[in-house]
Amino acid sequence: MRFRRLVTRRDFLATSGRIAAATVAATHAGWTLADQQGSELTDLSAIQAATAIRQGDIKAEDYAAALLARCETGKHLNAFISLEADRVMEAARAADQKRASGAALGALHGVPLAVKDNMQVIGYPTTAGTKALIDFRPKTNAPVAAALLRQGAICLGKTNMHELALGFTSMNQAFGIVRNPYDPARMPGGSSGGTGAAVAARMTPAGLGSDTNGSIRLPSSMCGIAGLRPSSGRYAQAGIVPLSSTQDTAGPMARTVSDLLLLDAVITGEAYMPASVDLSGVRLGISPKHYYADLDSSVAEIMQYALDRLKDAGATLVEADIPNLTELQAGVTVNVIYYELRRVIAQYLAAQRTGISFDDLVEAASPEIQTQIKGWALEWSPNAISEQVYRKAIDETRPRLQATYRNYFRENDITAVIFPTLKMPAPLIPEIAVSPGPDVEVNGKPLAMRVAFARNIAPCSSAGIPGLVIPAGITPNGLPVGLELDGPAWKDRELLALGLAVERVLGTIPSPQV
């Protein structure tokens, strides 16, 4: 495909003119659409696709057809639970007709995006990856999805996930296992594994995931894409099958930080965007005790290379441990999630008039999920979280964790803490789905999956601060490794601006050969 002209910053300003924040963000993106033979439509970012459709360089119908063909090529990855090609093509043709009429166009006009299947989209089932909800068709859109649709986005389909978002692997026993585009024998991470796989495999330029305890950031790291867990409470949580009212949040996943900026602006309507970040004025915190222990050797090597590149670009690396981080996080995560789970899911099922009770949901769930819920989340569970333990987590430990982060950023003059998202690249898919997951091998030694996967991502979730994942590199055997930047609460736009600067220094990784 040969494009007639470059996509410039001015073009992007026109594309995102309906959203003030996205307009300002465009001045920091620093991207162009290469005017060369052989460019694939499926390689376009959301910004590039929206701009090309708006300018008439491509038709929305042609772009949707290319993405659907890619979905067919990559169907072995099992990234989608619901995907209706005819419906997508009909919406794309309508988008072209609207453009031809001269009507005002939204910032995402004609761009098909993926939506995790725990988020409501009218006309599609919202299964949360579990059998009991297979026939649940909501009458309203989740606000996060509605915001994208109002700006002209097309729902490409509903993506597969770890059942009820209760796991790290996306080994879904109701709708099938999601596979990693870089190696289908390996897991894509969870619980937003379908969105991660679809974005990485060029089935869609971007999409929505949700993150209670790493569910956006783990798939982003394992699948070699960018992902944002926003500050808790920044995105509306209505219309999303919940796990924890304290820790749940939706968030964008894409191949570029620029696209995260655009989706974040569309969802929040935030007009504020800080100035472009000069890394020579940035201090990045390194907390070795919690984040850098027991790293796989390939992850450690890639992370060190990334840190060296950032240091060469002018960033100051400040080695300073976050006090009592491991102990504080341990007092929050499990106690909050498993106490709130039963209550918030039951409330959701009743409010949405699903006709399904919480007990119905559990009895129809896979053995892995039943083991978790019956072991931890019910009043009679052997590991049930008491009201007293929960209240201590909410009223004492979590506020202490949040204060610890505030003091760390302020006292050390830290812009963000930087670390590997998880301690190893994507492992092989095990034969049996167990909870919280089988031991994995790191440097020839067994390590519990909850440590390898959750240790580094859990503090951010428990404190409710924003976390941004960016590809850091790729291992000798072709597996992506992501780094994470966690910033102060409600400084999401500043963190994304920093991410743009880091992304420019580190560059891109090879795309998967689907």
Catalytic positions? 116, 191, 215
- Cα–Cα distance measured from residue 342 to residue 361, given in angstroms and rounded to the nearest whole number: 11
User: Residue 233 region, left (φ>0) first, then alpha (ψ -120 to 50), else beta?
Assistant: left
CA distances from 163 to 38, 109, 182, 233, 355 (A): 39, 31, 22, 23, 19
Tokens of residue 112, six digits: 């098909």
- Cα–Cα distance measured from residue 325 to residue 460, given in angstroms and rounded to the nearest whole number: 10
Return the C-alpha torsion angle 131, 133, 136, 139, nearest 10.
Answer: -150
Q: Are the beta carbons of 300 and 286 closer than 8 angstroms?
A: no
Closest by CA to 253, choosing from 22, 472, 45, is 45
Q: Are the beta carbons of 192 and 216 closer than 8 angstroms?
A: yes
Is 442 in a helix, a strand, or coil?
Answer: strand
User: Could you tell me which residues are beta bridge partners of residue 229?
Assistant: 467
Element (H, E) at 491: none
Q: Are the beta carbons of 223 and 200 closer than 8 angstroms?
A: yes
Q: Position 451: which residue type?
A: V
Closest by CA to 477, choosing from 422, 425, 421, is 425
Closest by CA to 44, choosing from 62, 28, 23, 19, is 62
Closest by CA to 242, choosing from 401, 116, 131, 368, is 116
Residues in the chain: 514
CA distances from 449 to 275, 314, 334, 434, 463 (A): 40, 35, 15, 11, 22
First CA to last CA distance, the chain? 19
